[in-house]
Amino acid sequence: MPYNLPITRTKYIMNKNRSQGFTLIELLVVIAIIGILSAVVLASLNTARSKGNDAAIQSDLSTVQTEAEIWYGGGNGNTSTNTYASMCTGDSVIVKALAGATTASAGTVVCNASAAAYAVESPLATGGYWCVDYTGTAGKRTTLLAASTYTCPAT
């Protein structure tokens, strides 16, 4: 059996000189898995971001709806009671809420106001429009609010 000793010793020497790192294939597989996982996470984040923007728009327009009633009653600098006129530019809270909705939607917010009525509409990030008006209506619509229209569209 003495002839087996040099073979075993040669295997030991060969394994001892071999590096203990990862192969290129193993590294590429790990990088591919990380890439796939990050793509899935980023896709989910974009959906969540759009829904978050829609929630911000709805909140801002709800603020407009509440503040419009205060304006109508003569509050927040409105010099004449029982009118919605100039609320879109005269009430600082409404102006800030409209600016917030514009930022969240990255679109144009429509604010129509007359003495007896108002309607405000903003595009949603996920499609469609969010509309509020003087009748208390608030909801998602598919049609754009026309100029000089003071109630939300039916659909």
Per-residue burial over 35-70, b = 16 or more CB atoms within 10 Å of its CB, e = otherwise: eeeeeeeeeeeeeeeeeebbebbbebbebbbebbee
Q: How many domains does the chain have?
A: 1
Starting at the edge strand found earlier in the chain, the sheet holding 129-133 runs 110-113, 118-123, 129-133, 138-141
Q: What is the pLDDT of residue 88?
A: 93
The percentage of the chain sitting over the pLDDT mark of 70, rounded to a whole number, equals 88
* 41 assigned to some structural domain: yes
* 147 assigned to some structural domain: no
* 146 assigned to some structural domain: no
pLDDT for 20 beyond 60: yes
Q: What is the pLDDT of residue 7?
A: 57
Q: Convert the pLDDT of each residue in 62-118 to its tens digit.
A: 999 999 999 998 887 888 888 998 999 999 999 999 999 999 998 899 999 999 999
Q: How confident is the model at residue 121 (pLDDT cuts 50, 70, 90)?
A: very high
pLDDT for 51 beyond 80: yes
* 9 assigned to some structural domain: no
Range of the domain at 119: 23-141
DSSP-derived pairing of the beta strands 138-141 and 129-133:
antiparallel
* 18 assigned to some structural domain: no
How far apart (Å, rounded) are the C-alpha atoms in residues 119 and 138? 10
Q: How confident is the model at residue 3 (pLDDT cuts 50, 70, 90)?
A: low
* 5 assigned to some structural domain: no
Q: What is the pLDDT of residue 34?
A: 96
* 8 assigned to some structural domain: no
Q: Are 135 and 116 in contact (CB under 8 A)?
A: no
